[in-house]
Amino acid sequence: MAFVRALCVLVSEEDEEATFVDPALRGKYCVCFDSPDGSSNIDCGVPIGTLVLSTGSGVNGFTLDPSLGEFILTHLDIKILKMGNIYSVNEGNAKNWDAAVAKYVSFMFS
């Protein structure tokens, strides 16, 4: 469980209080997260997010190296494409969109 030994505290938008790792297993990292599909998916054992860091000037991705017990910078300065070739939106929720979102989707993808 190298990942657990790397952490000292976990903070989730889903929980009112932080979760602290047992002192005997505690590492030096604090992980803050908000599961994209809600906390109900965590028990499924499927990947639901990524470990990235932004301090306000760019985004970098890190990968845990279990042999070192350290997170290594593996994705420097991550960017989202201005325009991709995939259209993905929850159209089943379109009746709840505000007017500006509906207009944008209609303009961009019609």
Nearest-angstrom CA–CA distance, 90 and 64 = 33
92: left (phi over 0), alpha (psi -120 to 50) or beta: alpha
User: Is 30 part of any domain?
Assistant: yes
Residue of 37 and 95 predicted with greater confidence:
95
Give the model's pLDDT for residue 41: 56
Q: Could you list the residue range(s) of the whole structural domain that residue 23 is in?
A: 2-75
Residues 6+ apart with CB under 8 A from 30: 7, 8, 9, 10, 11
Q: How many domains does the chain have?
A: 1
pTM assigned to the model: 0.44
User: Is 56 part of any domain?
Assistant: yes
User: Is 109 part of any domain?
Assistant: no
Give the model's pLDDT for residue 17: 93
Contact 41, 12 (CB under 8 A): no
Q: Report pLDDT digits (tens) over 36-86.
A: 555 555 565 555 556 788 777 889 988 878 788 778 899 999 987 777 777
